[in-house]
Chain A
Amino acid sequence: MTPIDPSTPSAPGSNSLSEADFIELVKSVRSLRVLFNLALAILLLFLVTLNAFMLWQIRSTRIQASRLTPTVREMERVVGEYETNSVPIMQQFTVELRRFAERNPDFAPILNRYAGAVPSGRPTNAPPQAPVANPAPNK
Chain B
Amino acid sequence: MSKNFSITAVLVALLLLVTALFGAFALTHARVDASVRAFYGYERGLETQIVMVTRNRAVFQAMVNDAREYAKKSPAMASLLQQYAPSLEQLELQNKPSTPAAPSAPGR
Contacts and interface: CB of A to CB of B under 8 A. Distances in A.
B97 to A, nearest CB: 9
A20 interface: no
Interface in B9-34: 11-12, 14-15, 18-19, 21-22, 25-26, 28-29, 32-33
Nearest to B97: A78
Given A75-B47, A75-B102, A96 B42 contact: no
Contacts of A25: none
Nearest to B37: A131
Nearest to B46: A75
Given A37-B8, A85-B94, A90-B91, A124 B22 contact: no
Q: Please classify how large the interface on chain A is, using the bins under 10, 10 to 19, 20 to 34, 35 or more.
A: 35 or more
Given A50-B22, A55-B25, A71-B103, A135 B60 contact: no
Interface of B: 4, 7-8, 11-12, 14-15, 18-19, 21-22, 25-26, 28-29, 32-33, 35-36, 38-50, 52-53, 56-57, 59-60, 62-64, 66-67, 70, 74, 76-77, 80, 84, 87-88, 90-91, 94, 99-100, 102-103, 105-106
18 contacts: A43-B15, A44-B14, A47-B18, A71-B43, A79-B49, A79-B53, A89-B88, A92-B84, A97-B67, A107-B77, A110-B70, A114-B62, A117-B60, A124-B49, A124-B52, A128-B46, A132-B35, A133-B38
6 closest Cβ contacts across the A-B interface? A128-B45, A123-B52, A131-B38, A40-B11, A117-B59, A75-B46
Interface of A: 30, 33, 36-37, 40-41, 43-44, 47-48, 50-51, 54-55, 57-58, 61-62, 64-65, 68, 71-72, 74-76, 78-79, 81-82, 85-86, 89-90, 92-94, 96-97, 100, 103-104, 107, 110-111, 113-114, 117-119, 122-124, 126-136, 138
